[in-house]
Structures are given as structure tokens and as C-alpha cells.
């Protein structure tokens, strides 16, 4: 069976959940091979975790000489592994960096690229992707018609599947050109942990907008009662109430949780682009004409400053 390369998304060797989702998708297409580009001392731990989700092979690229450079070296490393493995497909997490790596790789391998897939199935032996387009108002099915399909996949597009693979570690030494080492990462400040679930991975997201008036404590209170991540509209971010990392929408994060709660958010098209595919949508807004109500499964017309604390208390009570 052909290999399917999965680029491991990790922070210092801690494998992030989208990688495990990609391994589940890879199994549908062929034999999953994880590609870990990172610290050699972390390789065993990474191999152990991806093996538990079906990785038959784990390619390890020691990043000691390239981690100080943006994107380009990773694309070169993947190209060299792909040349050797002739994979049936290459799956990459749909992060900003993931898409840039994929873009460069597509040119190098002269292969078709599909970004932001929300589902990948196999038809006639080839991967067929589903994408959500135009702010989530359309879906499109597509496939790659040239070269090795390169597909970037959004978080939450598949459930991780446990099940042991062989997890055979193969160290690869790649040759990285000087041309790929020209965009230097001069500083890197890891984002402070919020103590809440990761926004793009969370099952529940509670977001606040301009209607919060800048006080997010009620939004956060409900989020914590529900075990949810906290999000924000661009108006809230532009007002400096939350950092940009919290922004949901076209120019922020795209989330697709089981439950999305929008408090004091009007529901502009650019915001919808980031949350429209959520399974269940709830809004609290004092304006009954707010466009967000066109999307909701349940809406409360009311003041969030009274409704949210009351719901939070009710949730706490029911949890016992």
C-alpha cells in the first residue's frame, strides 16, 4: 500500500491534536507515515504518540540547523522525503504555516494543492476533498488532477482513531539549500497558556463582541462553566479587549465546534466565515434584528450582562 505523508504539527515535540486527525484520514488513503521535523531528542516521544494513532512509519528530520528559519526549509525537507517515498498523498494541517509549506511544496513537486479541506474521502482510489467556501455558504468537492495530491486539512475534520501502527522510526538527513535559509526567525515568544481548551480544537466556544462593552468576565464565566474556549469578534479585538489570537472570523480563526455561543456579536459576514459551520449555534443579543439570529438554533433577545451570569449560575446548579 502506498504511503501517505502526514506532517506532524507539534510544539517542542508535544504533538497537537490535528496531527492525530490527519493520521485517521491518511488511513483511508493508504499507509500513514508521520513526518516529524523537530528536535532529535523529542523523536522517540513523538514516535510513541503517533504510533498509537496508526502511524506505520515515522520520518524524523532533525531541525537543529533549520529551526531558525521560516517555512522554506520544511518544504524542502518534505520534498526530499516525497521524492524518496512516492506517497499517494501529503496531508498538512491547515494552519497559516501549514498552508505556506503546502504552497511551496506544490510548486516544487508540480502537484495540485487543495487547502482548508473539512473532509477527505476516497473515491476510485483517489482522495476527494470537501471545502467550505464563501463564508461557509457553499461546499465544494474537489480533487487533485496532477502529481501527488497535497491537501491541507482543517482542525476537527475527522476524529482521531486509536490503533497501533508499526511506528518504525526512520531518520532522514535532508540537504537544505542556502536559499531556503533566508527568512530568519529572530525571536519567538510562545503564547501564554490560557488554561482553557485550544480555540480551534474546543468542543464548545463562547465568544464576546462589542456588546460586552469590554468586560469579558461574563463571557469567561460561562465558558468556564461549560469547559469552553473563549473567542472574540474583531470589534472586541480592535478595541484591545482581547488579543488577536482570540479572533474568530475571516481574518482570525475558523472554528467548527459542537456548540458556539455568540454574546453581543451582531453576526457580520466576516464573523460568520469563522463560525458558520458550528454544529449548534446560540446567541445572546439585545437587538432582535441582529443578523446573528438568522443562524441560531437558540437565541435569547436580552442584555448579556444579566443573561450570561444567570445562565452560568443555572449551568453550575445543574452540574451539581
Partner 1 sequence: MNIVVCVKYVPDATAEQRFESDNTVDRGAVDGLLSELDEYAVEQALQLKEAAGDDSTVTALTVGPEKAVDAVRKALQMGADQGVHVQDDEIAGSDAVATSLVLAKAVEKIGQPDIVMCGMASTDGAMSVVPAMLAERLGLPQVTLGSRIERKENQLAVQRDGDTATEVVIGTMPLVASVTDQSGEARYPSFKGIMAAKKKPLETYSLGDLGVDAGEVGLSAAWTAVEETAARPPRTAGEIVKDEDGSGATALAEFLASKKFI
Ligand X SMILES: Cc1cc2nc3c(=O)[nH]c(=O)nc-3n(C[C@H](O)[C@H](O)[C@H](O)COP(=O)(O)OP(=O)(O)OC[C@H]3O[C@@H](n4cnc5c(N)ncnc54)[C@H](O)[C@@H]3O)c2cc1C
Q: What residues between 199 and 258 interact with ligand X by CB under 6 A?
A: 209-211, 233-236, 247-252
Please work out, in degrees rounded to the nearest 5, the angle formed at the alpha carbon of residue 112 by the alpha carbons of 107 and 113: 85
- Partner from ligand X, partner 1, none contacting 22, C-beta within 5 to 8 A by type: none
Q: Which of residues 267-286 bind ligand X (CB under 6 A)?
A: 268, 270-271, 274, 284-286
Cβ atoms 85, 5 nearer than 8 A = yes
Q: Tell me the C-alpha distance between 151 and 38, whole Å.
A: 21
Distances from the Cα of 139 to the Cαs of 51, 109, 121, 142, 210, in angstroms? 33, 27, 14, 10, 30
Closer residue to ligand X in complex, CB, 20/282:
282
Q: Which three cell numbers stand for residue 290?
A: 441582529
Closer residue to ligand X in complex, CB, 111/312:
312
- Partner from partner 1, ligand X, none contacting 175, C-beta within 5 to 8 A by type: none
Pick from 138, 127, 129, 125: nearest CA to 157:
129
- Partner from ligand X, partner 1, none contacting 264, C-beta within 5 to 8 A by type: ligand X
Q: Name the helix (H) or strand (E) containing 146.
A: none
- 42: contact with partner 1 by CB under 8 A: no
Distances from the Cα of 303 to the Cαs of 142, 210, 283, 298, in angstroms? 44, 13, 11, 15
The distance in angstroms from the start CA to the end CA of the chain is: 52
Cβ atoms 78, 5 nearer than 8 A = yes
Closer residue to partner 1 in complex, CB, 68/213:
68
- Candidates 56-64, 144-152, 155-163, 300-308 — which segment interacts with ligand X by CB under 6 A? 300-308
DSSP state of 204: E
- Partner from ligand X, partner 1, none contacting 171, C-beta within 5 to 8 A by type: none
Q: How far is the CB of 74 from ligand X (least distance, A)?
A: 26
- Partner from ligand X, partner 1, none contacting 245, C-beta within 5 to 8 A by type: partner 1
Q: Could you give the string, one character per residue 198-217, with x where binding to partner 1 holds by CB under 8 A and - elsewhere?
A: --x---x-------------
- 128: contact with partner 1 by CB under 8 A: yes
- Partner from partner 1, ligand X, none contacting 138, C-beta within 5 to 8 A by type: partner 1
Amino acid at each position: 500500500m502506498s504511503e501517505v505523508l502526514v506532517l506532524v504539527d507539534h510544539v517542542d515535540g508535544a504533538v497537537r491534536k490535528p496531527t492525530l486527525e490527519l493520521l485517521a484520514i491518511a488511513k483511508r488513503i493508504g499507509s500513514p507515515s508521520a513526518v516529524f521535523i523537530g528536535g532529535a531528542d523529542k523523536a522517540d516521544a513523538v514516535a510513541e504518540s503517533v504510533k498509537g494513532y496508526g502511524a506505520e512509519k515515522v520520518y524524523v528530520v532533525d531541525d537543529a540547523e533549520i529551526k531558525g528559519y521560516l517555512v522554506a526549509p520544511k518544504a524542502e525537507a518534505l520534498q526530499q522525503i516525497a521524492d524518496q517515498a512516492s506517497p499517494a498523498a501529503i496531508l498538512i494541517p491547515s494552519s497559516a504555516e501549514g498552508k505556506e509549506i503546502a504552497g511551496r511544496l506544490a510548486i516544487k513537486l508540480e502537484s495540485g494543492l487543495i487547502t482548508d479541506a473539512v473532509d477527505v474521502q476516497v473515491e476510485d482510489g483517489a482522495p476527494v476533498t470537501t471545502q467550505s467556501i464563501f463564508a461557509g455558504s457553499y461546499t465544494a468537492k474537489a480533487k487533485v488532477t496532477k502529481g501527488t495530491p497535497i491537501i491541507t486539512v482543517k482542525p476537527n475534520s475527522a476524529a482521531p482513531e486509536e490503533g497501533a501502527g508499526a511506528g518504525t522510526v526512520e531518520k532522514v538527513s535532508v540537504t537544505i539549500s542556502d536559499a531556503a535559509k533566508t527568512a530568519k526567525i529572530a525571536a519567538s515568544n510562545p503564547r501564554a497558556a490560557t488554561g482553557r481548551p485550544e480555540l480551534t480544537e474546543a468542543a464548545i466556544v463562547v465568544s464576546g463582541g462589542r456588546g460586552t462593552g469590554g468586560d469579558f468576565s461574563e463571557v469567561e464565566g460561562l465558558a468556564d462553566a461549560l469547559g469552553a474556549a473563549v473567542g472574540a469578534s474583531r470589534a472586541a479585538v480592535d478595541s484591545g479587549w482581547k488579543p488577536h489570537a482570540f479572533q474568530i472570523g475571516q481574518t482570525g480563526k475558523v472554528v467548527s465546534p459542537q456548540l458556539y455561543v455568540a454574546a453581543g456579536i451582531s453576526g457580520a459576514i466576516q464573523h460568520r466565515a469563522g463560525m458558520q459551520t458550528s454544529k449548534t449555534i446560540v446567541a445572546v443579543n439585545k437587538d432582535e434584528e441582529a443578523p446573528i439570529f438568522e443562524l441560531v438554533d437558540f437565541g435569547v433577545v436580552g442584555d448579556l450582562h444579566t443573561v450570561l451570569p444567570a445562565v452560568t449560575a443555572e449551568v453550575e446548579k445543574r452540574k451539581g
